[in-house]
A and B are shown apart, each in its own frame.
Chain A
Amino acid sequence: MGMAVNKVGIISCSGEEIPEGTISRIAALLVLEKLRYDETVTICLPLFLAGSEEERVFARLFPTITVDGCEKRCAEIGTKKYSGKPAATIVVTDILKKYPNLNLKSRDELSAEELELAEKVAEEIAKKVDEVLEQKRGPKRRES
Chain B
Amino acid sequence: MPDQVLYGMEVFLNGLMAGVLYALVALGFVLIYKASGIFNYAQGVMALFAALTLVGIMDGQVPFSHLINAIFGTDVHHFGWHVPGVLAIILTMLVMILLAVIVQKLIFRHLVNQEPIILFMATIGLAYFLEGFGDLMWGSDIKKLDVGLPQGISETIESVTYNLTGYGFFIDNLDIVAAVVATILVVVLTLFSQYSKQGRALRAVADDHQAALSVGISLNFIWVLVWSIAGFVALVAGIMWGAKSGVQFSLSLIALKALPVLMLGGFTSIPGAIVGGLVIGVGEKMFEFLLGPALGGATENWFAYVLALIFLVFRPQGLFGEKIIERV
Partners in one complex: no
- List B residues at the A interface (Cβ < 8 Å): none
